DNA sequence: CCGTATCCCATGAGATACTG
DNA sequence: CAGTATCTCATGGGATACGG
């Protein structure tokens, strides 16, 4: 599952599951991920065919990211993670591991 | 999900889902993971409360690793990954991403 | 058998400044 | 707005050798 292994990839996919997002939308939802890292991981996800990027040639530029059909197949994996996270997020034990 | 984020952690958990394993058992099942890396990731999983280690004070030493109750709660996540992997492992496209 | 210690290089990732 | 470029330091991870 190298496809998800990147530190932020699963989070990006999670946010894109809610629908198309712009670069800044994603950044606001992941304040701990630097602009540089976000760009790098988005690029990798794109190369792996998980997400697609649409660029509108207006000024200033506008881009939109969304899941490809292939990326959509990852939904069950991400939702399994989310379900697990919801169960254990509020607990004191293992808090460091859950993050 | 830093708990699974380590390069080999999900694979270790996957193998331990089949039951208790010795260090060498795990190593044989993960030839691409060095002994050093295996030891490091096992230790982290132990610290995070995902797995437990039992050492038998015989010579030569014998150790056994198994999932804790907490570790067992990760089953749905790992099986979701496995299901996804089974679907896409054999396909030509995205092969690099699946790995 | 099951690790740890050390050395060393490759990659990761923040900060900052710049561009179409 | 949505990135790139560069510099720099931190971390990851292989190889090898050693230890209980």
**Domain boundaries of chain B, sorted by first residue:** 2-98
Strand (E) or helix (H) holding B94: none
User: What's the whole-model pTM score?
Assistant: 0.90
The C1' atom of C18 and the CA atom of A67 lie apart, in whole Å, by 31
Among B56, B62, B60, B52, which residue's Cα sits nearest to residue B23? B62
CATH 1.10.10.10: does it fit domain A2-98?
A: yes
Query: What is the residue-level pLDDT of chain A in tens, covering all 99 positions?
Result: 777 877 899 999 999 999 999 999 999 999 999 999 999 999 999 999 999 999 999 999 999 999 999 999 999 999 999 999 888 765 555 555 555
Q: Do A83 and B96 touch (CB under 8 A)?
A: no
CA dihedral B79→A45→A34→A27, nearest 10 degrees, is -90
**Residues 9-48 in B contacting A (C-alpha not used; CB under 8 Å):** 10, 48
DSSP B3: H
Sequence-distant (≥ 6) Cβ neighbours of residue B67 within 8 angstroms: B13, B16, B17, B50, B51, B52, B74
Q: Do B1 and A76 touch (CB under 8 A)?
A: no
pLDDT digits (tens, 9 = 90+) for B22-75: 999 999 999 999 999 999 999 999 999 999 999 999 999 999 999 999 999 999
In angstroms, rounded to a whole number, what is the distance separating the alpha carbons of residues A43 and A37?
A: 10
Q: Which nucleotides of D are covered by protein (CB under 7 A)?
A: 1-6, 12-17, 20
In angstroms, rounded to a whole number, what is the distance separating the alpha carbons of residues A47 and A59?
A: 26
């Amino acid at each position: 599952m190298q496809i998800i292994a990147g530190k932020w990839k699963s989070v990006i996919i999670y946010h894109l599951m809610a629908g198309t997002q712009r670069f800044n939308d994603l950044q606001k939802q992941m304040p701990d991920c630097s602009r540089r890292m976000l760009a790098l991981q988005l690029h990798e996800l794109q190369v792996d065919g998980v997400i697609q990027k649409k660029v509108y040639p207006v000024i200033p530029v506008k881009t939109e990211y969304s899941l490809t059909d292939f990326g959509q197949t990852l939904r069950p994996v991400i939702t399994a993670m989310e379900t697990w996270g919801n169960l254990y997020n509020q607990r004191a034990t293992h808090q460091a591991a859950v993050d």
